[in-house]
Structure 1
C-alpha cells in the first residue's frame, strides 16, 4: 500500500546501540550504589543518637523507583512538542531557584539554602535547574543557529541565560553547581559554533571571578589549602579527604569485604553521599573502583557515538548537555574523593544517596532512550511510491 509504513529492526544492532550500553551501565551503577548503601547506612544514627539501620537504603530504593518512572515517562515524550514550552520550563526552574532563597520557604542545611520540601522529603532544585538550563539553551541556540556568529544574538543573550541560572545557584552558596552550569553553558556555545574571540575572553573573566569569590570566602579558601596540604590539614579542613584516602589504602586490591569497612562507622562524614566512592574502595577494593571509572568512560564513549546520529542541532545539543551533566559530575566527584580536586560536595551519579540527583539522572537517561528510538530510523521511499521506515 502506498501509505503503509513498515518498520524493519535489527535486534542485535538495537541491543548493542549506544543508548542500550548507557542504560545497562546506569543499571549496573545503580545496583552497586544500593549494595554499598546497604553497608554504608547500617550503623546510621539520627540526630537523637538513635540507631536507624538501613534508613538511607530505604530512601535510595524509593528514589530509584521515582527516577525509573521519570525515565520511562521522558523516554516516551515528543521532544519537538515539549520544545514549544522551553521558556515555560526555564521560567519555572528560575522561579524555583528564586523561591528557595526566601527565608522560611527554602530549607537551610549547613548554611546553604538549596532545598524545598516537607518533613523528610527534600528536593534540591538546582538539580532540576541543570536540566532546564540545558533544555532552554539548546532550544535557543538551535532557533538562532544562523546567527551564532553574531555578538548579541549568538553570544550575549545565551550568556545571559547561563548567567541567570548560575547566578541564582551561586546565591545558594553552591559554587560547584554554578561552576558546572557555566562549564556546560560554554561547552554548548562552543558546540553550536560560537566564535573563539568571544568565548576565550569570557572564559578568562569567569575564571577570574571564581578566583575572587574563593579569595573572599574563608570556607572555600580553607578547602583550597586543605587540597594543597591534605596531611597537614587532616584534623581540620582536610579531614574528609584524609579519611577517604585512608579508606582506599585500607581497602587495597581486594577490599575489606562488604560491611567490614570502618569508615562507614561515622568516621567519614557524608560517606553515603559525596564520598561513597571511598566506601567502594575500602570494602570492595581496587577492581571495583576501576570498574566504576571504566563504566563512566564507557558511558561517555557510547554517548559520543550516539551524538553522531543527531538529526538536528536542538537534539544534538540537548543530548550533549545531558551527557556532560552525567559525566562531568562523575569526574568532579571522583577527583574530589581521590584528592585530585579541591573538596566540593557533588554526588556520584547513580550511586550516591539522594532523590534529587537520581531524578536528574532519570531525566538524562530518559532523553537518551527517547533519542535512540527516534534517531534510529530513516524514512526512505519504497517501490510502491509510499514510505517505509528502516533502521538507520
Structure 2
C-alpha cells in the first residue's frame, strides 16, 4: 500500500506529476520490448543483425529522454515566444523534404540527418499546437466573438496541410485538423462555426479520397479486406489474423507468426497487431489504458491551469491530450480494421526516432506546465 501511495499519490511538496512520468516511462519500455520482438525478422533480412532496429530504438529512447530533460527546463513563457519561429522552421522543413527528402514506399516524408531520419510532419504537429495555444492566448476574445478570429489559425493549418498532402501524409493532416478543432472548441468558438467547418472538412476529405486511387483502394480494402486478401487488403488481413491468434492472453512474448514478414511494417505502424498476437487482448487493453491515463492527466492539468488563468499552459495541455488520444485511436483502429490505414505511429510504442523525440518533448511540456501550476499555487497558499 505504501508503494502504491508513493507512485500515484504524490505529496503536495512534489512539483511534478508522477503519474505522467511513470506512464510515459512504462509506455517507452513496452515500446522498446515490442519493437525488439517485432523487428527481429526484418532486421535479420536487411542488415543480417537481428537487433539492428532494437538498438536504434534504444539510442532514440536515450536521446529522447535527454532532449525531454532539456525541454523541461525551458519556461512556458519562452515556449510561447518561440512558437512562431518554430512554426516557420517547420514550414521550411516541410518544403525541404519535398525537395531533398528521402522517399520510402512512395512517400517523401523523411530528411536524412546522420543516424536519424527526421520526419518534419512530427515537428510540424508540435509547432502547430504551440502556435495555436499562443494565438488563443493573444486573440482569445477575437476567437469567441468573430468568425475571422476563428478562421486565422485554420489558414495556417491549410498551408501545412497542403505541404503534407504533397508528401503525401494524409494521416498527419487529420490529426492536426482534429486537434486544432478541439483547441478552438475549448477556447469557446461558436457552435455554428464548427458545423460549417465540420461539413467543409468532411467534404474535403471525401474529395481528397476520390482524387487519389491509392486512397480509394485503402477505403475499399478497409470495407472488405477479404475481397482482395493478397492485394489491396493484404496488410489488413494479416493484421486481423494477428489479432485473432492473440485471443485473450496472446501466444507469448516473441511467439508472433505474423511478424515473420507476413505483416508489413510490423515494427512501425502495425506494432499493435504484433502486441495483440503476443500479449492478447489483455496486453492491448493495458497499453491503451496507459495511453488514455496519460491523456486524462493532460486534460486534468489543462483544466487546473484554466482555473488559475494560465491560459497558454491550459490550451497546450488540452491540445497535447487530444493529439495523443486521437493518434492512438487511429493507429489501433487502422490495425484492427475499424478505420482505413493512415500511416500513424502508436505513441511511444511504434519504432521511429522523430515520433519518439517529439512526443517525449510534448510530455516534457506537460510536466513543465504542471510544474509552473504547482509552483504558483504553492506561492499563493
What TM-score comes out, normalization by structure 2 length?
A: 0.92
Following superposition, the deviation at residue 153 of structure 1 comes to 4.3
Q: CA deviation at 1:57?
A: 0.4
Matches for 1:361-380 after TM superposition, within 5 Å: 361-378=359-376
Other-structure match for 1:258: 253
2:353 pairs with 1:389: no
- Offset of residue 343 of structure 1: 1.3
Q: Is 2:235 aligned against 1:245?
A: no
Where do 5+ consecutive residues of structure 2 fail to align?
Answer: 1-8
1:79 correspondence with 2:76: yes
Q: Distance in 2 between matches of 1:144 and 1:93?
A: 22
1:389–1:87 distance in 2 versus 1, CA, 3 Å: same
* Alpha-carbon displacement from aligned partner over 1:133-187 (angstroms, at most 9, x marks no partner): 0001111111011212343541121211221222211221111111111111111
Q: In the alignment, what sits opposite 2:123?
A: 128
Higher helix residue share:
2
Q: TM-score, normalised by structure 1?
A: 0.89
SS of the equivalent of 2:379 reads: strand
Matches within 5 A, 1:50-199: 50-102=47-99, 105-118=100-113, 121-151=116-146, 153-199=148-194
Q: Is the 8 A contact 2:140 2:187 kept in 1?
A: yes
Secondary structure, counterpart of 1:41 in structure 2: helix
Partner residue, 2:353: 355
Give me the whole-angstrom Cα distance separating, in 1, the residues matched to 2:12 and 2:240: 42
For the 8 Å contact 1:43–1:51, the answer to whether it is kept is no
User: Aligned pairs, how many?
Assistant: 370
CA offset at residue 120 of structure 1? Answer: 5.1
CA gap 1:256/1:164 in 2 versus in 1, 3 angstroms: same
For residues 311 and 82 of structure 2, what CA distance do their matches in structure 1 show?
A: 17
Distance 1:75 1:118 in 2: 24
Give the conservation status (yes or no) of the 8 Å contact 2:217–2:232. Answer: yes
Give the superposition deviation at 1:203: 1.9
Instruction: Find the counterpart in structure 1 of residue 5 from structure 2.
Output: none
Matched, 1:296 2:296: no
Mean Cα deviation higher: 164-173 or 218-227 = 164-173
Contact kept, 8 Å, 2:302 with 2:318, in 1: the verdict is: yes
2:31 to 30, 33, 37: 33
Paired residues of 1:43 and 1:52 also in contact (CA < 8 A):
no
Distance in 1 of aligned mates of 2:237 and 2:249? 21
Say whether the 8 Å CA contact 1:44–1:52 is kept in structure 2: no
Distance in 2 (alpha carbons) for counterparts of 1:15 and 1:351: 28
Cα offsets for 1:235-255 (capped at 9, x unmatched) = 111111111111121122222
Partner-residue secondary structure (3-state), 1:149? helix
The structure-2 alpha-carbon separation of the partners of 1:120 and 1:269, relative to structure 1 and needing over 3 Å to count, comes to farther
Task: Indicate yes or no: 2:274 matched with 1:279.
Answer: yes
Aligned mates of 1:123, 1:318 — CA distance in 2: 23
- The SS at the match of 1:115 is strand
Q: For each residue in 1:19-68, what CA deviation from the matched residue of structure 2 results, as whole angstroms up to 9, or x when unmatched?
A: 32122111111111111222212222477x55321111011101111110
In structure 2, how many angstroms separate the alpha carbons of the residues matched to 1:212 and 1:302? 37
Q: Where does residue 6 of structure 1 map in the other structure?
A: none
Equivalent residue, structure 2, for 1:326: 324
Which runs of 5 or more structure 1 residues have no equivalent in the other structure? 1-9, 380-387
- Separation in structure 1 between the aligned mates of residue 61 and residue 47 of structure 2, nearest angstrom: 26
Find out whether 1:42 has 2:40 as its counterpart: yes
The answer to whether the 8 Å contact 1:74/1:366 transfers is yes
Give deviations 1:77-125, integer Å, cap 9, x for gaps. 11112322322111111111111111xx111222211111146520001
CA-CA distance at 1:193 after TM superposition: 1.4
Matched, 1:221 2:216: yes
In 2, the alpha carbon distance for the partners of 1:87 and 1:126 equals 16
Counterpart CA distance in 2 for 1:114 and 1:307 is 32
Task: Report how far residue 13 of structure 1 moved.
Answer: 4.3
